[in-house]
Structure 1
Amino acid sequence: MDDVPAMIIYAIYRVHSDDVDAFASVAVRMATEATSHDGCLFLDVVQDVGDPTTFRLVESWRDQAALDKHLANPAFHDALREARKLRIETYRSDVYLVSDRVPTAMPTV
């Protein structure tokens, strides 16, 4: 089960309508940077169709060490500094640890 991520992070940001384009730019740039590093299996940035001020970031990391390396990266801190200048109205993040006991695919019923 080497291809199963160890961690999945699901974050939701709601930004002020005037900051939508700026936030999208920062988030996509950060995702592109993160996915170039070993240990990041994916980091997707999606904008809510029904509410364009809401963004969802879903990321998957091989292990805690890979995530820690990302969090220590100067490029991540640059993006974070830039995002903090924007009007982020709400933020929520959940971290899920993937157990090797969980099957990679649900059985067909």
Structure 2
Amino acid sequence: MMTEPTSRNLPTQIVFNAYYRVHPDDRQKFIDAVVPHIGFTAELPGCVFYVFAADLLDPNTFHLSEGWADQAALDRHNASEPFQNALREVMTNVRILDHQGQRYEIADQGAGDPPGGVELTG
């Protein structure tokens, strides 16, 4: 599910990248827990991007990438009912076999296209 955040053009101050490898029997439980809050979160003021994606090589691994304009926006997300519900559901009903996450504070940013750019079609 790709959601266009309303604040995509804001400068990004905080980035989180994480992955979760879940027990194969809990894969659908994980999906059911996180999907309801993705669209809500992407529409929050100050959310620059918020994407969960299944790994192309391991269907039981999910990658989270999120960008926030500032700490206040991130705090609103963390306190939101949809996020709290998803977190509670995952922590209660999903066996997480491996997890790693990093938080980055962005000091400077620029275009991230590969050399030669990206040609858009359509």
Of 58, 76, 94 in structure 1, the residue corresponding to residue 102 of structure 2 is 94
Matched, 1:73 2:80: yes
Q: Offset at 1:108? A: 5.2
The structure with higher relative contact order (CA 8 Å, sep 6+) is: 1
**Identity rate of aligned residues, in percent?**
36
- Give the Cα–Cα distance (whole angstroms) in 1 for the partners of residues 77 and 15 of structure 2: 14
TM-score, normalising length from structure 1?
0.87
TM-score, normalising length from structure 2?
0.78
Aligned residues: 107
Partner of 1:33, secondary structure, is helix
- Give the Cα–Cα distance (whole angstroms) in 2 for the partners of residues 3 and 22 of structure 1: 33
- Give the Cα–Cα distance (whole angstroms) in 2 for the partners of residues 57 and 29 of structure 1: 15
Contact 2:36 2:82 in 1 (8 A): no
Q: Give the aligned CA root-mean-square deviation in angstroms.
A: 1.9
Partner of 1:103, secondary structure, is coil
Q: Offset at 1:33? A: 1.8
Match of 2:119 in 1: none
List runs of 5+ in structure 2 lacking aligned partners.
1-8, 117-122
Of 108, 111, 122 in structure 2, the residue corresponding to residue 104 of structure 1 is 111
List runs of 5+ in structure 1 lacking aligned partners.
none
Q: Which is worse superposed, 5-14 or 28-37? A: 28-37
